[in-house]
């Protein structure tokens, strides 16, 4: 051993060298290179190797020409390590770059062979593994979790007849009707081209300029400006396949189908003020919530629902069911539940699984087919194409997260990063190699293979090639109106405020005015509120390509009308300080956990505080655990502690925010000084500790007019 390496090794041994090296390996204080071959470790996995299996003797020092000399090019260990590191990042998704994934299982809860021959739906109890990735759309991979944005809801079901990817969103409609406009839409919403901001925000000129010029976006705008776009938790949002798809049964009969994911925990959203504050308090709020819930065994679940209808019904509707800016009211076609998705396992490695997951709307299985929705048709190309540039190779299907779990074999060969090793000569078809005793490879399967559905009406279609939109696609406002008018008063006020906020960020006056002129076709009152909020004159009504009609309001479109009064999956922050009564805290905690909720203890200090009945450690420090992180709050404080805390901004803000965000505040008598300082006034949601369980974690919207101008 040369003197130089001798010295280096000595430095690796804590206590022996002059500068003990910290353990960065996370292996309990042992550095791999400290494990001498004679130390009794015979587990080959315990040794660091390079990517070709060569054991590494020293992972701290590069190879130098002399103790203080230059580094040698010969050092293949260093070169490989840096080379690999240099290429760790791959291009991020152009949209939906920030996402969080989890594994799970999907189970069929109702067999529907009369509707589809999809194997998974042939028998109740059929199940398959699943992987889901939730995402925001506009921001980059490192952006925040809580911007106002659409959320991606991409589901991959590894069925026994191949992967079925239902690549949906948490909003049932889309901004545009034709794939041709997608690059324009995305360019307009992402950071502005010259200045590189804003990140993860639609509140800027280019987005609203584009939107103002695209009346077909107005329905989706209502959703995007509603509380749907600021969800509280990924576990508490709906998912939608958006497009009309096809179910095809064994007799070859087709019906249209729209897919819905209904969260078992109910739908919850934040308020805008809360979303903004969460972005600062915990930019990973949603990702952490999902990861922690799954790790704790609170497995989020969704029911898969379908709306099924036929051509005759579709033809009678005042909208075109192929238009992805339209939904089908649940009051017209009820959502029937046919399955349940449970997410029960976090990923082991974020990059390998969540980042490398490649979803393809073109991944359907026999029994499920596409329709002529022009947006869907464009997506069928885009996703396959984008995976190649993102993952670098046409063999991205071989990455474990993307590979089907049923056998797959074909004559596709070679390409970058090929990991399969096909044997024999048969790499073409047809071949007659079997006659010579050689393996001849797989063959097509007309009986059970995927056969594209041909609708009766389409069989005789002369298939004209036209760059046109069907007539009913021109109704841009009826469903935007339906959505707006189906909301509660508070929800309508949130939409109006969101529009005022976003348009206030727009610098171009004509863009603001144009959007408001479109709102007049949706609802005059909404347009007036927004114009007043912007302090502009009400502009002339925009000309509508097709006059809007009134549709009966639909309760399924409102979050508040569906609110679920439950503690399940909800997180309650309990504030305590020196002298607090431990027994009260324990009783409350047990009751919340019994009701399915979880508790996070907050105190001015985390290390352990003297309380009545012992010492209590907090889960988080007050200033680092603002109340926006919880669904409801409670406090158990001695009057002196409350008095002292009422001089601390973080404590006062804790109550002020919870009150302002219409959350339940449960408190003991001792807290009063703080409540007074935070201007918390008594109402149905401000209750004594004993009444917390009865009150629950629902929002108290009746409070809102007292703290915010909803006009």
Binding site for ligand HDE (CB under 6 A): 93-96, 99, 133, 135, 152, 154, 167-169, 174, 179, 182, 242, 324, 357-359, 375, 378-379, 382-383, 386-387
Q: What are phi and psi of 151, to 5 degrees?
A: -110, 135
Shortest separation between residue 72's beta carbon and ligand HDE, angstroms: 42
Written as six digits, the tokens of 214 are 């695209």
Hey, which residues does 127 pair with through a beta bridge? Answer: 107
Cβ nearer to ligand HDE, comparing 200 with 642: 200
Written as six digits, the tokens of 468 are 């046109």
CA distance 275 to 144: 10
Rg of the chain over CA atoms, in angstroms?
29
Hey, which residues does 163 pair with through a beta bridge? Answer: 158
Shortest separation between residue 102's beta carbon and ligand HDE, angstroms: 12
Sign for the CA dihedral angle at 174, 180, 181, 186 comes to positive
**In the 3-class helix/strand/coil scheme, how is 394-448 assigned residue by residue?**
HHHHHCCCCCCCCCCCCCCCCCCCCCCCCCCCCCCCCCCHHHHCCCCCCCCCCCC
DSSP letter, residue 544: P
CA distance 399 to 391: 10
Cβ nearer to ligand HDE, comparing 162 with 324: 324
Instruction: From residue 702, give the alpha-carbon distance in Å to each of 192, 554, 687.
Output: 39, 21, 15
Cβ nearer to ligand HDE, comparing 286 with 379: 379
Shortest separation between residue 100's beta carbon and ligand HDE, angstroms: 9
Shortest separation between residue 94's beta carbon and ligand HDE, angstroms: 5
Cβ nearer to ligand HDE, comparing 384 with 650: 384
Hey, which residues does 301 pair with through a beta bridge? Answer: 342
- For residue 272, what is the enclosing H or E element? helix 272-281
Long-range CB pairs of 445-448, under 8 A, 24+ apart, other chains included: 448/161, 448/366
Cβ nearer to ligand HDE, comparing 17 with 392: 392
- The packing angle between helices 524-534 and 509-522, to 10°, is 160
Q: Measured in whole angstroms, how far is the alpha carbon of residue 365 from the centre of its chain?
A: 24
Shortest separation between residue 171's beta carbon and ligand HDE, angstroms: 8
Cβ nearer to ligand HDE, comparing 200 with 242: 242
CA distance 108 to 423: 38
CA distance 528 to 283: 35
Shortest separation between residue 219's beta carbon and ligand HDE, angstroms: 13
CA distance 647 to 666: 21
Cβ nearer to ligand HDE, comparing 383 with 501: 383
96 is an active site residue = yes
Shortest separation between residue 43's beta carbon and ligand HDE, angstroms: 37
Q: What are phi and psi of 369, to 5 degrees?
A: -140, 170
- For residue 595, what is the enclosing H or E element? none
Shortest separation between residue 133's beta carbon and ligand HDE, angstroms: 4
Q: What is the dihedral angle through the alpha carbons of 660, 662, 668, 669, rounded to the nearest 10 degrees?
A: 60
Cβ nearer to ligand HDE, comparing 324 with 626: 324
DSSP string, 516-545: HHHHHHH-HHHHHHHHHHHT-PPPPPPPPS
Cβ nearer to ligand HDE, comparing 154 with 567: 154
Shortest separation between residue 144's beta carbon and ligand HDE, angstroms: 17
**Contacts for 344 with CB less than 8 Å, ≥ 6 apart:** 103, 104, 105, 294, 299
**Contacts for 436 with CB less than 8 Å, ≥ 6 apart:** none
Shortest separation between residue 211's beta carbon and ligand HDE, angstroms: 16
Hey, which residues does 684 pair with through a beta bridge? Answer: none
DSSP string, 544-588: PSS--------GGG-SGGG-----TT-EEEEEE-TT-BHHHHHHH
- The catalytic residue among 12, 32, 61, 96 is 96
Shortest separation between residue 375's beta carbon and ligand HDE, angstroms: 5
- The catalytic residue among 126, 169, 346, 402 is 169
Write b or e for each residue in 456-465: b if 16 or more Cβ atoms lie within 10 A of its Cβ, otherwise e. Answer: eeeeeeeeee
- Other beta carbons within 10 angstroms of residue 480's beta carbon come to 28
169 is an active site residue = yes
Cβ nearer to ligand HDE, comparing 323 with 704: 323
Q: Measured in whole angstroms, how far is the alpha carbon of residue 356 from the centre of its chain?
A: 16
Do the Cβ atoms of 344 and 294 come closer than 8 Å? yes
Q: What is the dihedral angle through the alpha carbons of 489, 494, 499, 501, rounded to the nearest 10 degrees?
A: 140
Written as six digits, the tokens of 155 are 């589901």
Do the Cβ atoms of 225 and 200 come closer than 8 Å? no
Shortest separation between residue 261's beta carbon and ligand HDE, angstroms: 12
Cβ nearer to ligand HDE, comparing 152 with 696: 152
Shortest separation between residue 371's beta carbon and ligand HDE, angstroms: 13
CA distance 174 to 325: 5
DSSP letter, residue 216: G
Catalytically annotated residues: 96, 169
């Amino acid at each position: 051993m040369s003197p130089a390496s001798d010295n280096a090794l000595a430095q690796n041994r804590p206590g022996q060298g002059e500068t003990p090296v910290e353990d960065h390996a996370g292996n309990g204080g042992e550095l791999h290179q400290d494990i001498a071959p004679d130390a009794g470790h015979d587990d080959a996995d315990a040794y660091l190797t390079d990517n070709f299996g060569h054991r590494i003797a020293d992972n701290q020092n590069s190879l130098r020409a002399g103790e203080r000399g230059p580094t040698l090019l010969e050092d293949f260990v260093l070169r490989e390590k840096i080379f690999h590191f240099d290429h760790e990042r791959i291009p991020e998704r152009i949209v939906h770059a920030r996402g969080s994934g989890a594994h799970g299982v999907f189970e069929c809860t109702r067999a529907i062979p009369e509707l589809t021959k999809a194997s998974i739906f042939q028998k109740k109890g059929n199940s398959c593994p699943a992987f889901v990735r939730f995402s925001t759309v506009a921001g980059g991979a490192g952006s925040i979790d809580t911007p106002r944005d659409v959320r991606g809801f991409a589901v991959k079901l590894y069925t026994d007849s191949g992967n079925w990817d239902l690549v949906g969103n948490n909003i049932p409609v889309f901004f545009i009707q034709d794939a041709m406009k997608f690059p324009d839409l995305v360019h307009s919403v992402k950071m502005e081209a010259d200045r590189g901001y804003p990140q993860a925000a639609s509140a800027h000129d280019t987005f609203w300029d584009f939107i103002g010029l695209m009346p077909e976006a107005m329905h989706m705008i209502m959703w995007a400006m509603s509380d749907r776009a600021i969800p509280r938790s990924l576990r508490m949002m709906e998912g939608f396949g958006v497009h009309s798809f096809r179910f095809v049964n064994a007799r070859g009969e087709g019906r249209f189908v729209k897919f819905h994911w209904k969260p078992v925990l109910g739908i919850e959203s934040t308020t805008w003020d809360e979303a903004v504050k969460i972005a600062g308090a915990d930019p990973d709020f949603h990702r952490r919530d999902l990861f922690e819930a799954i790790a704790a065994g609170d497995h989020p679940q969704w029911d898969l629902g379908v709306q099924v209808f036929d051509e005759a019904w579709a033809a009678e509707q005042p909208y075109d069911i192929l238009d992805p800016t339209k939904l089908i009211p649940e009051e017209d076609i009820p959502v029937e539940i046919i399955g349940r998705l449970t997410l029960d396992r976090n990923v082991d490695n974020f990059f390998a699984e969540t980042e490398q997951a490649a979803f393809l709307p073109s991944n359907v299985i026999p029994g499920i087919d596409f329709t002529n929705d022009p947006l869907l048709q464009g997506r069928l190309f885009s996703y396959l194409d984008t995976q190649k540039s993102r993952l670098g190779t046409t063999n991205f299907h071989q990455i474990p997260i993307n590979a089907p779990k049923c056998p797959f074999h074909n004559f596709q060969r070679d390409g970058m990063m090929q990991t399969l090793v096909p044997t024999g000569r048969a790499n073409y078809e047809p071949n007659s190699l079997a006659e010579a005793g050689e393996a001849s490879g797989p063959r097509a399967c007309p009986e059970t293979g995927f056969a594209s559905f041909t609708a009766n009406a389409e069989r005789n279609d002369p298939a004209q090639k036209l760059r046109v939109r069907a007539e009913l696609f021109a109704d841009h406002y009826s469903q935007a109106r339906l959505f707006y008018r189906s909301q509660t008063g508070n929800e309508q006020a949130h939409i109006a405020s969101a529009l005022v906020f976003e348009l206030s960020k727009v610098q171009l006056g004509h863009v603001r005015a144009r959007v408001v002129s479109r709102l007049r076709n949706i609802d005059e009152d909404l347009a007036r509120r927004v114009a007043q909020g912007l302090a502009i004159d009400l502009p002339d009504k925009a000309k509508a390509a097709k006059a809007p009609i009134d549709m009966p309001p639909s309760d399924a479109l409102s979050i508040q009308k569906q609110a679920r009064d439950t503690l399940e999956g909800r997180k309650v922050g309990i504030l305590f300080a020196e002298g607090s009564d431990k027994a009260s805290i324990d009783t409350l905690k047990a009751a919340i956990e019994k009701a399915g909720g979880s508790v996070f203890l907050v105190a001015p200090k985390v290390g352990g505080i003297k309380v009545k009945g012992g010492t209590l450690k907090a889960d988080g420090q007050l200033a680092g655990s603002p109340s926006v992180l919880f669904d409801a709050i409670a406090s158990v404080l001695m009057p002196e502690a409350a008095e002292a805390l009422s001089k601390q901004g973080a404590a006062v803000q804790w109550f002020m925010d919870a009150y302002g965000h219409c959350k339940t505040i449960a408190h003991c008598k001792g807290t009063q000084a703080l409540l007074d300082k935070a201007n918390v006034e008594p109402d149905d949601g401000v209750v004594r500790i004993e009444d917390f369980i009865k009150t629950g974690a629902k929002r108290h919207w009746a409070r809102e007019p007292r703290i915010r101008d909803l006009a």
